[in-house]
Structure 1
Amino acid sequence: MDRNNRGFGEEKRYGMRRKKRMNRLLNGAIAIVAVLILFFAITLLFTGDDQASEEEENQEQTTEQTETDEAETEEEMTAPEEEPETSESEEAPETAEESEPAAEEETSTTEEETNTTEEETNTQDDQVTDEAASTEEDGAAEQEEPSQEPSSDAAEQGEWEPVGTEQSGSFTPSFDSNSQNWAEMVTALSAATGLSEDEMTIYRLENGGSPTTAVGTVATSENRSTPYRVEMEFVEGEGWQPTNVEVLSSNPY
């Protein structure tokens, strides 16, 4: 009997312990579920508040824009029409009368300026004419300057006759300063340049490339920087004949 009671008591205690465990598990599960529900509720609450605030802001902006548009429309509709400016038209006759003397003064001033401009133009034209005339004179003077260089009628004509010769027999060219041929070549140089034999300086007298030709460079003390270069040819029985005269720009000797 006692054994049965003991067995029953143990089973009862075991059943109570099991119920306590089950209660604990259920309570824990209920607590977790409650926490989750609370979390989602809070999340939804804040999200709804944000959306509501955004919607309210959008509505406020839309309302303000609408009110502004309506105010502008009312101002345009109620704006007074501009009155025609009559003061200027009424004062126009007096202004026109006062402007006539001013117009006359402007006209006279314009005429004076025109006259002044014409005088300046005439003065400039005179200056240009004077400059052109002086330029022409300078050009003429420059063109006349070469004619101041030593020259002779024979040199300008470019045609000369043989100067004659005392040499007989077969012609033998000689450039000895004491020979008869040299004396006749000097006579030909004088005839071609128009310079006298006494004042003429012979810088060079040489063979012209063949036995019967010669070339001489001569000048005076006045034109020694621009000497004459004379080409001549010996004509049998008639003597030396100048064929070309050239005025050099500088003296190479």
Structure 2
Amino acid sequence: MRSRYGDRHSKRKQNIVLNSLIGIVLAVILVLVANIFFFGDSPEQTVSQDQQTAQSDTNEESNSSEDAVTSDEANPEDSESNNSESADQDSTDEESAEEDKTKEENKDKEKEDKEKDKEDEQADQKPGEPNLEGPWEPVGTSQSGDDHRSSYTIGSDDWNEKIKAVESVMGLSEDEMTIWKIGGNGGPQQSYARVSKKGSGNQVYYIELEWIDDKGWKPISVSKE
């Protein structure tokens, strides 16, 4: 009796252990299934995510291509702008050069006109007739303005240049005039001359002279005494 009872009791314990193990295994399986079902990605979700990733890559490539096209389109405009600026600069340089050329031509023309006027005035002055109205010009000099000293020594460079200025007024050479006096006129660069034409009686001309640096003596007034 005791032996049978012990065998039954032993089998019962074994059954309990097996049932417990089976229960544990089932519980683990249920947990795994629940994890897969509630937290795992389904095949459809995986495919959708792959499609989204592929679409995103396509969009990025499209945007990159559009940026490249935009950049390519912008570069010709920049090039055209640079070319336009370069052309404008060249045009400005040409205009400036043309203006400089025009100014030089105008200066040359003014100089020629003055020389022509001077020649015309000299031509209008009859030989042996004083030019009482002017205008008069400096007669030129070999002296430097810084070193100039008015001289009244007959035959000196300064004396000879005074005589030349008087000749330009009288329309006569020194041999054709009587020089009564050449003297100072109130300043180191001021002078005067009293002259007359030989054989003209007592008509004396009073000529005032002024020194112009590097240009010589210039008649500034003429009057009859």
User: Which TM bucket (shorter chain)?
Assistant: 0.3 to 0.5
Q: Which has the higher contact order (CA 8 A, sep 6+)?
A: 2
Larger Rg, first or second structure (1 or 2): 1
TM-score by length of 2: 0.41
TM-score by length of 1: 0.37
